[in-house]
Amino acid sequence: MKNRKRGIGISGLIKIFLILFLIVMISLATFTGGYVLSVLKAAPKIDPSNYRSLINETSEVYSDDGQLVETLVSSEFSEYVTLDKIPEHLQKAVIAVEDERFYEHNGVDFKRVVGALIHDLKTRSFDQGASTLTMQLAKNLYTSSSKDVNRKLTDIFYAFNIESHLSKDQILEAYLNSAGFSKGTVGVQAASKTFFNKDVSELTLAESSLLAGVTNRPTKYSPYNNATLTLEDNMETVQFVLHPTAKDKENTKETIQIGQALFDLGRIDKFDLNQIKNSVYTPIKAEFNPVSKERQELILDLMLKQGYITQNEHDEAKNQTIEIKIGTRSQKGLSSFFVDEVKREVVSILESLGYSSEEAHAKLYNGGFNIVSSMNLDMQRHLEEVTSNAKYYPGNRTDDNGIPQPQVSAVLMDQHNGQVKALIGGRGISGGKTLNRADVPRQPGSSIKPISVYMTALENGSTAADVYLDAKIPAKVLGTSSWSPSNVGSYAGWTTIRNLVKRSSNVGAILVSRDIGSDLNAHTKTTYSKAVDTDKAYKLIIDNLKKIGVTTVISPEDNPKYNDANAAALALGGMTHGISPLEMAGAYTPLANEGIYQKPTFVNQITNSQGDVIYKKDPVGTQVIKPGTAFIMTNILHDVVTQGTGTNANFSGMYLAGKTGTTNKQKDAWFVGYSPYYVCSVWIGNDKNERLPFMSYAAATLWKGIMKPIHEDLENKVPEQPNDVEKKYVRAIGRSEYFLKGTQAHYTNKLGWYENKKEEKKNEDKDNNNNNNKDKKSKSKDKSKDTEKTKRSSKNND
């Protein structure tokens, strides 16, 4: 019998196929399992219990009395709100459309996953989502919006982790505060304020169901679309937003007319109008999106089907007309200059608390901080209004960039605690990316004299009764080849320091500055001053300026070649860099505050999103000069306002003190002064450093316009004489004077010498209307043209 070859039968093929299939499946499972494990292993560890800190929340700035000034929006607007503040119908609307089995699953709805997979395979669209609210929360907090497999696996992994650590209410609260709602809004509270200008707790069922539909596709289902705003639109009712104007484009004439119409109706402020005129922003119509209404009706149907609302509630919400009302995120009528300062200070504070610069800037906008600023809203509005009035600027014009000239800066602060109550960094502009002139150093002119020369002199033994010769000084006396100081107006001859300040004598300021640190009791025959050691004198002045917050003064140690250790800089204000109006206000605080320096500050308190106070301003200042020095200088500067160069700043019913300042070639006009309540610095000048058609009287007049209304209901307070001051009669000057105890008048014998010469005296000081005179010889010399030592030196003595 022959052997027959046996083939593989059907059953054998089946067995082989099953074995191969099993091998493939095992291999696939092994590969898949390994892949999944590698993805999960690579996923960063999370702590779901710390979810609140991961949800960005927009910080808010408040005034000193708790009124919202501005919401600090960077790329997104977000405001956290607890679940009990969110209407139940909004919660149910979101659950109905996003995750109907939310309360049944443990993070992943497998039934929904299978259904979505079948749908995607049938339609080959792969657009059916299966993410639960928990998975979406994982995406919002820990992963991204990408649709790759790795992210989906990570979301599932994180979802189980979240469900094991948080309750359903916590998960829902976190989701509702982290979901995106289009137009740069995150969370239901921000969405409610953006689209309906109301708190989320006030939403109707119709509004809630509309918002619930946005998160699926924010761009498609946004409550409004951008449209072109035309003059045919009803400007009284039309909803609009101000969008940044496209780069390299200018607003049309019609757009500017629209801006004017909105301004006339009070719907935008003057700063917004100027931004439109300057093509910084363009008004865009916010037009209701009909697609969002279709989505809303679908959600209402789902809510009815799932038993969350009744038929009547369903029908009523469907029939309700929804009106978009764009919310505002800042106070109207305010420039951003003050808040710009707040932002800088918050970043600095956060860095001092250990945050890196990058972290501090991120936290500023997204940390959910409640920032209580030092701003007094009424004072800030008043400052904005007064400084915008063209009547205070003789020669008012508009430059090629549409910016009013001359420009202005004013700082109003409380000298007792350093709180800046109001600040303006320009007029006709709103701040932000524009120049904040409050921070820009400008040459201070004579306004520096009280805080540089005279304050330092009194601290080092000089007195208000010391006598100097106010007359033209030969260059050789100063040790220079050609430059010597001169007064713009008349000379007083031999006169006291009090009168030198009142007259704003340039010569007197230089002579007094050279004597600081010298033996003032030593016998001298010189007609001018001892000037034993000018290097020592200038060092004392510079050290004092640094103590009172002037960061821009340059010492020889800072720069041996180019520095401010000279008479032109320290006595006349011709500094290398100048002083900013903000630092100038702070520098006057020791005079107004019994010798205590207060650095100007803008932030009173910072509270984090958990309600913890992480910063609170310390109101304690630094004693930098004697109380008696401050008292005597204040008394002298009171004369400046009532009798001297600063009379334009004076008003009745309040004890005032201050000093004018005009720089060389009349490029800057200053007045810095104070009351028993506030210090205020005012600077006026052209952005291009051009000559002004006026002197410091304009700055003093504006100062009065700012300060007088603020003090209308305040009690007048005359400074009390401190214990380190005594009042003594000085025979040589024929009246009593205030002295620091232990000091005496110097050089008073010069008055007798001058009187014995019987030189003719004549009052030439038209601005000051005082009775000080000068000799004819000095007068004739004053008419000659002086050679400047440096272009930075000032010749103006007002």
- Break the chain into its structural domains and give their ranges: 74-319, 445-782
CB 386 within 8 A of CB 616: no
Give CATH superfamily name and number for 445-782. Answer: DD-peptidase/beta-lactamase superfamily (3.40.710.10)
Contact 309, 205 (CB under 8 A): yes
The residues with which 603 forms a beta bridge, in sequence order, are 373
- The tokens for 338 are 């003050």
Q: In terms of DSSP bridges, do strands 185-186 and 77-78 run parallel, antiparallel, or are they unpaired?
A: parallel
Q: Dig out the tokens for 626 from the structure.
A: 């004697």
d(CA 15, CA 783): 122
What are the DSSP E strand ranges found in 279-418? 281-288, 370-373, 397-398, 404-405, 407-413
Q: What confidence score (pLDDT) does residue 237 get?
A: 93
pLDDT at residue 354, as a whole number: 95
The CA distance from 212 to 87, in Å, is: 12
The per-residue DSSP string of 269-314 comes to: -HHHHHHHHTTSEEEEEEEE-HHHHHHHHHHHHHHHHTTSS-HHHH
Pairing of strands 68-72, 59-62: antiparallel
d(Cα 107, Cα 161) in Å, to the nearest integer?
A: 8
Among 536, 702, 726, smallest CA distance to 626 is for 726
CATH fold for domain 74-319: Penicillin binding protein transpeptidase fold (1.10.3810)
What pLDDT is recorded for position 531?
Answer: 63
Shortest CA distance to 668 belongs to which of 757, 754, 579?
Answer: 579
Mean per-residue pLDDT pooled into runs of 10, the chain (798 residues): 55 69 67 58 78 88 95 85 96 95 88 63 55 89 72 80 93 94 91 94 97 92 94 94 84 94 88 82 93 96 96 96 85 82 97 93 92 97 93 86 88 98 88 78 97 98 94 76 79 94 95 89 64 88 98 96 94 96 99 98 95 95 98 99 96 98 92 99 92 90 98 96 97 94 87 42 31 32 34 51
Spatial neighbors of 736 by CB under 8 A, at least 6 apart, are: 727, 728, 729, 730
For 71-217, where are the alpha helices, taking DSSP H only?
88-98, 110-123, 133-141, 149-165, 168-178, 188-196, 205-212
Looking at the DSSP bridge assignments, the partners of residue 579 are 442
Note the pLDDT of residue 533: 84
Would you state the structure tokens that stand for residue 279, as one six-digit string?
């093509």
